[in-house]
Amino acid sequence: MIEKNFEEISVRWVIALKGEAEEIIKNYALKRVATTPFPVYKNRDFDMWLILSGIGQINAVAATTYLYVKSDASYNTIWINFGIVGSRNFKVGELIQIDKITSSDFQDNYYPSPAAFKNNNIECCNLITVNKPEKLFENDGVYDMEGYGFFSFAKNIAPYELISILKIISDIPGTDLSKIDNREVERLVSKQIPLIEKVLENLISLQNILFLQLRDPNYFDEICLQKKFTFSQKVTLRKYLTQWQARFPLRNPLDEIGQRMTASQILKKFSDNLLR
Amino acid sequence: MVDTIYVEDEIIGTKKAQEIISKFRHAKVISIKRFGEVFNPSNQNFRIQKINPALILAKKQKGFVLDAPKGFGIGDQNNYYFSHMYNCLYDCSYCFLQGMYNSANYLVFVNFHDYQNEIEKTIKKHKEKKMTFFTGYDCDSLAMEPITNFINDFVPFFSRYKKALFEIRTKSINNTVFRKHDPLANCIVAYSLMPEALAQILDKKAPSVSARIKNMKYLANKGWRIGLRFDPLIYCRNWKAQYSELFANIFKEIKEENIHSVSLGSLRFPKSFFNKILQYYPNSEELSFLRTNDKGVISYDQSIENEMNEYCRLELMKYSDARKFFSCG
């Protein structure tokens, strides 16, 4: 379970239907914050959001885009597409993490990062996204109607390592689809909550590594507030402050800045100090 | 341990691909159309992938043999390099690969014969000229030998072309393959070296420098020719003492006559590579001395570069003939 007040955590769920999302909503105490154009839920204490996209790839792309904007998701955000799928290779109720994504409509395939599914002991397999509910399951893998669309957008807004597609097998050849109701789906999902939490824990540990990489060096914000730096000067300042931290851990760079110094003079001062 | 292997459909049935796959019995094999699908996408994180890289097996389509950069060489007129593999088993903080590639996964091109055909054509085309073929710049060929058998395939190949030098650049202490073959006069086993204290910080996952020296001694005694590569030279607070000690340690163990060549090179990066690397290692004091020079390249200040080169050359001249000295770029 995610600890409260965990400031760096940032998670977005994209799920097609309410029945598939219900247990996730309960487990992470998400509250509805919007109804249209898509129902959106969020946790009050930490940065976790969930959107109900509806069925199909277009809805998945639209909902992911909408949530990205509405929730002001940063680059370092975990994105998970979760839902039920059909397959001829697995038993009903099994949780599957996707390692290859193909589409009946598009040539390009996508490959989620193995880092996202390592150490989980969860079965991995390929996903085939189709436009109509699949009954024949002619190929190996699992069949859904959203995963490809979700990933095709998510890969542009977050690192591969933080994007995951998780599916639960709901139907196999011969299943009467009319019998898969909300209660049945909720029952299947609730059994897998501990494993879903484990996947999320692994993703959060990767998110922490990324957070450290993307963090601005100490004093960057303070110095930017004091003087006006252009975009390229900020890039240089970020580099110099990173080097400064490594070289002079006990020297405060703010002490190097005189009141009347311009941005260029500040950069020159840092550069000269770092030369040897 | 590799637990995911991506394999191009085109080569999955080849002997080499199957040979490699069979070495990872528990790995999940995922078929791909082209390696670029997995290796090239941006938005991958090199450092996270480096924790546990996957293996990608592919077919190289073109560009088997490339001209070495101008000024690069160990005495021959024509210099070429070729890469049967991208990315390395080791994890050196200053490695340019982490700035160059989006992915840290090991990419192995299994069509060794196509490389050999191109090398053969190049040798025949310039048969009057002396030439060197470098390998081990986009990977450490020797470190990955238990998986690829690359050197085992290429040493017999180069034994047919005595005029062409074959340099294997490495930090590995794996000597099994060199025990299988007779020493080859036109093969140089070239060791990347730096002072031990620096290597302990920077050359992560690589054998210690003392182990590398021990292995060089072993190979030299077997009759293999050794290259010493101080590339890059790393600037730090007491670099003079550290490099002097390193040179003394090497020549205490290895006879000068076993040394084919010595080369020195400065630490340099294109700007975009360096920005990524600095993000990965924000606490590295060694990276804090680097600057953008007037050509837009990240390097030490020219005065530092000159001083290091001059000092190291003079120190090395105490032990070795200066005619064996070359500069890397």
- Single out the residue of B41, B151, B199, B159 nearest to residue B105, CA to CA: B41
Distance from CA of A159 to the nearest CA of B (A): 5
Count the domains in chain A. 2
Looking at residue A5, what is its pLDDT? Answer: 44
pLDDT tens by residue, B273-289:
998 899 899 989 999 99
Whether A109 and A230 share a structural domain: no
Q: Is the model more confident about A154 or about A1?
A: A154
pLDDT tens by residue, A103-114:
988 989 999 999
Report yes or no: A73 and A67 within 8 Å, Cβ to Cβ. Answer: yes
Q: List the CATH number of the domain containing A89.
A: 3.40.50.1580
ipTM entry: 0.90
Residues of A in contact with B51 (CB under 8 A): 115
**CB under 8 Å to A165, separation ≥6 — which residues?**
A80, A81, A82, A97, A98, A101, A112, A127, A147, A150, A151
Q: Report the distance separating Cα B98 and Cα B86, nearest Å.
A: 11
**CB under 8 Å to A173, separation ≥6 — which residues?**
A88, A135, A136, A137
Report yes or no: B177 and B145 within 8 Å, Cβ to Cβ. Answer: yes
Instruction: Indicate if the pLDDT at residue A7 is higher than 70.
Output: no
Whether A187 and A100 share a structural domain: yes
Q: Provide the percentage of residues in chain A whose pLDDT is more than 90.
A: 77
Mean pLDDT of B137-158: 96
Selected for mutation to probe chain A from B45, B286, B303 (highest A CB count within 10 Å) is B45
When pLDDT is cut at 50, 70 and 90, the band that residue A4 belongs to is very low
Give Cα separations from B202 to A62, B5, B195, B207 (angstroms): 46, 28, 10, 12
Q: Is residue A4 part of a domain?
A: no
**Average pLDDT for chain A:** 92
Residues of B in contact with A111 (CB under 8 A): 6, 30, 32, 37-38
Whether A190 and A61 share a structural domain: yes
Q: Tokens for A189?
A: 């999902």
- Single out the residue of A124, A128, A129, A101 nearest to residue A114, CA to CA: A124
CB contact under 8 A, B48 and A271: no
Q: Is the model more confident about B56 or about A4?
A: B56
Fold of B4-327: pyruvate-formate lyase- activating enzyme (3.80.30)
Looking at residue A6, what is its pLDDT? Answer: 59
Whether A124 and A88 share a structural domain: yes
Whether A201 and A73 share a structural domain: yes
Q: Tokens for A194?
A: 């501990």
For residue B68, which phi and psi values (nearest 5 degrees)? -70, 155
- Residue in A118, A126, A160 nearest the CB of B44: A160
Whether A111 and A245 share a structural domain: no
Whether A224 and A266 share a structural domain: yes
Q: Report the distance separating Cα B195 and Cα B197, nearest Å.
A: 6
Q: Provide the percentage of residues in chain B whose pLDDT is more than 90.
A: 85
CB contact under 8 A, A274 and B291: yes
Q: List residues of A whose CB lies inside 8 A of any B CB.
A: 99-100, 108-111, 113-115, 118, 124, 126, 155-156, 158-161, 206, 209-210, 213-214, 217, 235, 239, 242-247, 271, 274-276
Whether A161 and A250 share a structural domain: no
Whether A50 and A182 share a structural domain: yes
CB contact under 8 A, B288 and A246: yes
Whether A122 and A236 share a structural domain: no
Q: Is residue A49 part of a domain?
A: yes
**CB under 8 Å to B298, separation ≥6 — which residues?**
B268, B269, B270, B271, B273, B274, B290, B291, B292
Residues of A in contact with B289 (CB under 8 A): 247, 274-276
Give the SS3 label for residue A241: helix
Instruction: Indicate if the pLDDT at residue A64 is higher than 70.
Output: yes
pLDDT tens by residue, A116-165:
877 678 999 999 999 988 888 889 999 999 999 999 999 999 999 999 99
Q: Tokens for A69?
A: 């904007």
Q: Provide the percentage of residues in chain B whose pLDDT is more than 70.
A: 100
pLDDT tens by residue, B190-245:
999 999 999 999 999 999 999 999 999 999 999 999 999 999 999 998 999 999 99
Last residue of a domain, one of A174, A192, A214: A214
Instruction: Indicate if the pLDDT at residue A2 is higher than 70.
Output: no
pLDDT tens by residue, B93-138:
999 999 999 999 999 999 999 999 999 999 999 888 889 999 988 9
Instruction: Indicate if the pLDDT at residue B313 is higher than 50.
Output: yes
The single-letter DSSP state of residue B42 is: S
Distance from CA of A229 to the nearest CA of B (A): 19
- Residue in A114, A210, A243 nearest the CB of B54: A114
Distance from CA of B296 to the nearest CA of A (A): 13
Q: Report the distance separating Cα B44 and Cα B190, nearest Å.
A: 32
Buried b (16+ CB within 10 A) or exposed e, B177-208: bbeeeeebebbbbbbbbbbbebbeebbeebbe
Q: Give residue A93's domain range.
A: 10-214
- Single out the residue of B315, B198, B314, B206 nearest to residue B267, CA to CA: B198
Give the SS3 label for residue A210: helix
Looking at residue A1, what is its pLDDT? Answer: 59
Q: Burial level of A51, CB count in 10 A (0-12/13-18/19+)?
A: buried
pLDDT tens by residue, B37-55:
999 999 999 999 999 899 9
Q: List residues of B whose CB lies inside 8 A of any A CB.
A: 3-4, 6, 28, 30, 32-33, 37-38, 41, 43-45, 47-49, 51-52, 54, 275, 278-280, 282-285, 287-291, 301, 304
Residues of A in contact with B283 (CB under 8 A): 245-246
Hey, where are the domains in chain B? Answer: 4-327
Q: Is residue A3 part of a domain?
A: no
**Average pLDDT for chain B:** 94
Q: What is the pTM of this model?
A: 0.93
Q: Is residue A5 part of a domain?
A: no
Whether A164 and A81 share a structural domain: yes
pLDDT tens by residue, A239-272:
999 999 999 999 999 998 988 899 999 999 999 8
Mean pLDDT of B139-167: 96
Q: Report the distance separating Cα A190 and Cα A185, nearest Å.
A: 9
Q: Is residue A1 part of a domain?
A: no
